[in-house]
């Protein structure tokens, strides 16, 4: 098993690569092509990969869950970069929830109209 530092570094490098593709030639990079197609395409890919992850989990196929989870994380990070969200923003939200029951955290959220 690798250390948390190495795992975090993998995610940081992935995000940096993704962010570096913003504005790049869509013909030269799949990531750049997603940015070029816009938020609707990016969110569709996140939804697709989430669905494929769920299907793999229900099929109890461990290797497919791992593979689809990697795809989901990648596309989620593309979404973050498209919305100018850096991983540290998400980490801060997770840290703020640390030590709080999921039920308490959900109840404390402001209702959405």
Instruction: Check: CB of residue 52 under 8 Å from CB of residue 68.
Output: yes
Q: What pLDDT, on a 0 to 100 scale, did the predictor assign at position 107?
A: 74
Average pLDDT over residues 49-58: 97
Write down the CATH number for the domain with range 4-85. 1.10.287.1080
Nearest to 49 by CA among 76, 26, 24: 76
Q: What pLDDT, on a 0 to 100 scale, did the predictor assign at position 1?
A: 47
pLDDT band at 109 (very low <50, low <70, confident <90, very high): low
What does the domain layout of the chain look like in residue ranges? 4-85
pLDDT band at 113 (very low <50, low <70, confident <90, very high): low
Per-residue pLDDT reduced to its tens digit, 87-100:
999 999 999 988 87
Backbone angles phi, psi at 65, to 5 degrees: -60, -40
Alpha helices in 1-113 (DSSP H): 4-20, 30-37, 39-58, 62-82, 87-97, 102-108
Paired tokens of 103: 């039920």
Query: Is the model's pLDDT at 4 over the cut of 70?
Result: no
């Amino acid at each position: 098993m690798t250390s948390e530092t190495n795992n975090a570094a993998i995610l940081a490098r992935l995000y940096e690569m993704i962010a570096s593709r913003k504005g790049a030639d869509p013909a030269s990079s799949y990531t750049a092509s997603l940015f070029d197609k816009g938020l609707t395409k990016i969110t569709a890919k996140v939804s697709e990969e989430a669905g494929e992850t769920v299907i793999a989990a229900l099929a109890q196929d461990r290797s497919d869950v791992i593979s689809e989870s990697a795809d989901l994380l990648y596309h989620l990070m593309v979404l973050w970069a498209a919305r100018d969200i850096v991983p540290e923003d998400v980490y801060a939200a997770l840290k703020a929830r640390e030590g709080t029951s999921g039920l308490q955290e959900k109840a404390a959220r402001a209702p959405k109209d």
